[in-house]
Amino acid sequence: MHFTAEDLFNVTFASEPLPLVELALALVAWQRTDEPAVFGRWRSRVGRELPGRARPLLDLLRPDGDNPEFVEPFVRDFEQGLALVRDAGPLLTGEQLHRAAARAPGSASWLRALWGQDREAWDVLDGALRSAYASVVAPQWPRIRRSFQADVAWRTRLLASHGIKAALASTHPAAGWSGTAFEVGRPPDYELHLGGRGLTLMPSSFWTGRPLLAGQPDGSHVLLYPALTPLPLAATGAAEGALDALLGRTRAAVLQLLVEQRTTSELARDLDISLPSVSEHTRTLRAAGLITTERDGKAVLHSVTGLGVDLLHSGG
């Protein structure tokens, strides 16, 4: 993603999470298999509770997150979003149908009916969106908002202290810069020139993969990326401190312990959590520039960075 000087001054944060975007990413996250230590129990619960009426959405929303944009409009109001989904029907193209049908795990007959403007198929889609939202997203909305707000607060401070390049590079372990080009070393490969039209950063508490890019009607783009605190780690009630609200209690404890260098095994022992769970937490903290990791023979050693120390001080 190529930035001009104007683009670098035109990066903003979204003001709040969006219901249909979070719904789409929640169903995508449920189908993924990465980060099992964090999302494993949540995925099991969603699998038990997701209504059968919502299952048609799985033909549209696939685990890689590169899905039809019409089903996840970027609007704040859920009902308005559903109306925009309906309005998009006549604009869908045969090329989009072919791509969606090739990715769908089941029969493409329902998708063909949807693209053919069959009223019953669109009623099925509307019911699936409503049912899935009520089951998966609505009960968790306060936690989704907390995760979103904590990430924006942290990255805003990161931007102010270290600049836009650090703020963007921290969105994924494979993200980095080559001159004025922001790069993520994960497929699929594509290239974009922002052209001064603006970029909005939007964290998601459900998404776990590489940053996703979505175009907007005004020519600007939105970069969706994993929030620093994924939903399963977001506090269910009021957090005990600023760090807990930002990172989640366990991840905040990991950061605090790493004021002194520790191995993965020592962290697991001191916090009484599994080794895979420690690895998930340290990977995210490392991607955010809060810790460093190095090998010493067979041991993997972690320690806090200067940026991490700053965060510990600001969080009390």
Give the residue carrying structure tokens 């995508």.
Answer: 28
Residue 198 φ then ψ, to 5°:
105, 150
pLDDT tens per residue across all 316 residues of the chain: 999 989 988 999 999 999 999 999 999 999 999 888 889 999 999 999 999 999 999 999 999 888 999 999 999 999 999 999 999 999 999 999 999 999 999 888 999 999 999 999 999 999 999 999 999 999 999 999 988 988 888 888 888 888 899 899 989 888 999 999 999 988 888 899 999 888 999 999 999 899 999 998 888 999 999 998 889 888 666 555 667 777 878 888 999 999 889 999 999 999 999 998 899 889 888 877 889 999 888 888 999 988 888 788 766 5
Nearest to 14 by CA among 151, 140, 138: 151
Residues 267, 274: Cα–Cα separation, whole Å: 9
Q: What single-letter DSSP state applies at residue 75?
A: -
Give the residue carrying structure tokens 């001009």.
Answer: 4
Residue 208 CB neighbour total at 10 angstroms: 21
Residues 6+ apart with CB under 8 A from 164: 8, 11
Prediction pTM value: 0.81
Residue 88 φ then ψ, to 5°:
-75, -15
Give the residue carrying structure tokens 């399963």.
Answer: 232
